[in-house]
Structure 1
Amino acid sequence: MKRTHRKQTRSNIWVLLVALVIIVIGIGGFVMNRHQRTHFNRSVKINGIDVGGLTADEALARLKKVQWSNQVYVGQTLIVTGKTTSAHISQADLPALEKIMQQQYSFFPHKVNHNYHLQPQQKNSYRENVLRQALQTKLEQLNQKRNPAQDAYAQLVNNKVTVVPARKGNQYNVAKIMQEYDHQLYQATIRLKKKIVQPVTATSATVKRQQRKLDKLVDRQVEYTVVDKKHTITVADAFSKVTYHNGKYDYDDVPLRKLITKINNEQGTLHKRYDFTTPGGSTITVQNESYGWELSTTKARKTLSQALLTGKKQVDGRQDIYGLGYNTGGLGYGLDNNGLGKTYAVISIAEQRAWLYRDGQMVQSFRVVTGNQATHEDTPTGVYYIMYKQSPSVLRGYAANRGKYEQKVSYWAQFTDSGCGFHDAGWRKDWSPKAYLNHGSGGCANTQPAEMAKAYGNLVQNEPVIVY
């Protein structure tokens, strides 16, 4: 009976002991849990500041006191040192701290390092603007002394596509570094990863696409018609080098410009010298001045480049010509008789006479008085064109023997940029063949009123005027 009683007693003691242990553990767990819910873990930092073991209020007080030196590192290199400022933490940031407290909570304490980001309610304009701009400027300055990366790229040279390999550099990738800076804006010390600009490699999708685009140009050509001559121009003829970047072709067209110059030398008529048969049957050499045409290098380059790059097979050079003087579109393109055609006017200084031709037939011949030779106001020789006609008109200018003048005329047909033209001169008394030697005009072709009335109807705007 006594043995049974002893066993029961021992059993009760063990129960009490277990119960006591459970109570102690429960109380301890409660106390620890309460502590964990109101204190940061030992390894926790906020914006790089150690707040381990502190309550939210204690952490806030510590963060408020923080002074930032505003040093910015890239890798191990100190790039910028700004002025010392506060962390801009205020009482308004307590709710955010309490939220971080909840995020970092664990039932058991741990020592896993973790740095939480807290963006203050009060913005730090110094770091957002002044320090940020100083960092970007400094990085850009440092890059000027560093070697840039060279992207690999495809090129078309001598009708063959090849790839120029990439070359690494050591310039900072400013854009990516600045992105990381924005993420670390409120860290006590800003330490940014060293990011270097990496080149596009030869095996990249970008270079492969360039190769495909350039392959399309191999053996491509265009037929360029100028008057009645056809010029076959290939990509290799036009471009010494072609590349493809950002959705468009880039090219060196020095060879194309030389080709255009060659065509102008062979076919263009501006300032060209050639033989001309006078109304009297003599053969003389004349030179185009304002009359004629040439290919505009700018227009022809654009026409031919676009044709070659887009695959157009044929283009006409007429759209690319230009001229001088009043009509900048060019004159005489495609006409026979060295571009003069069959409708033109002729002035002979020696004979003091003009002849007008229409469709190859002379329709009028009349006496003129040209520029005064004695005062060096000679009518300029060369090939010009009727720039415009006006009836009536007022002539204004300066003459050696008259000074500044203003003269009304019934008919006016200008043919030089300097202001020479056909006009009636009813005031003139001396119409002799030698009048121009000492009593000539200021440079115009003075014409008797009756003849000028007829000539005004026979002259056509843009027709050539040959003065010899």
Structure 2
Amino acid sequence: MNKQTKIIGILLLVLVVMLGGVYFYQRNFFTTHFLPKTYANNTDISELTVAQAEKKMLERNKSQVYEIKEGKEVIETLPKESLGIHYDFRDDLKKAMKQQKPSRWFLDSRQKKQLILTNHNLNEQELQTQLNQLKEKLDKINEERQPAQNASIEKTEVGFEIKPEVNGTAIDTGEVMAALTKSIQAGESTLDVSHFVHQPTVKANDPKLKEKLTQLEKISNQTVSYTLSGEKIDVPKETVTSWFIYNPESQEIDIDQEATKAYLASLGQKYNTSTNPTKFKSTKRGEVTVPAGTYSWTLAVDTEAAALREDLLAGNSVNRVPAFQGSAPAGAPLIGNTYIEIDMSNQHMYFYKNGKLELETDIVSGKPTTPTPHGVFYVWDKVKDTTLRGTNDDGSKYASPVDYWMPIDWTGVGIHDSPWQPAYGGQLWETIGSHGCINTPPSLAGNLFNAVEVGTPVLVF
């Protein structure tokens, strides 16, 4: 071996020793430090210890923000720390350090490594405070924005029409708050609120909406006519139209029962014979006004309103006598051409049948202390050979046998023969008047009894 070869050998040995030293030094170094080209959440932590890497990441996170965007525009920037996000990377960094292979440092150092660390704590109270403040800001923004409105059917003065949809610009803050909470918990850094600006789901050309409009137009064109006391009452078309209700949410058509009841009540107030007096053309005194009595009717508002609703929703026009309660029919005039007329001023009674005077006679009505009630009554029963009982003015009892008895009200007043009366007519009622009944001459009482049918109106005035 010559001298030159020996020198080369020594140099190679020194180089190997040096390289070995470097290798083992680096291997030992990277047991406590991260390899080159190591990044954690986009932060370069190359050749840093766990403590150094954590410190660097925490310092970097202090400057991190959460952006609230609307499209490309940033409408709010919030420091993540203010959202209650508190990171703790130590355990994850230690775990990443253990997964390194220091013995391969010379190979792994050439490759970029990106660690994704998500270990953090969330302070719910701090987060909620920021969310409340953000919601206030979004609500203020919404004050100048338009919520989306679906196309709908609206009532006009003449019918119904489709109101076009309105595109929305308002932000659904409730959905934003929920999405933001979820996004922050997932460690994200941005949220685009434009995804929470809703648009109409029902347009003016919606087939179902058009179908409902056609249906509404059809049924709201129905006519409603009532007959009361012989008079036909045509309900104005605009009134009928106003009764229809369209619910855009359920797309259901209904009738406003309060409105129909109010209208029917107004008819009752005008036409009810149970509360309104009856004008009557008397035999001797011309037109007289007779108070309401037992022969009358009352419009049944609730019953008729329910029937009206059913008819209109079925698309049926209405032309009828409305539902009523009472002893008289509501459709015809209360007094036709068959009735008993009792003229108290003239103390005279008339019986008309089919417009022809069948019988007339003087009578004796109730005395001043027990006057005969005025009103429109009716013969509700006919009884032969009965005894009328009651109390005299002095408190004593009386019992009066009669051959013919026709009660006309519910208090015991009626028409009967009175053989005890010496005469009839004039002012006799003031001195020998009855207890309220219509005393009739026995010679005519039987004829009247046989001619009059139960249900015959009796006008006392």
TM-score (norm 2): 0.49
Larger Rg: 2
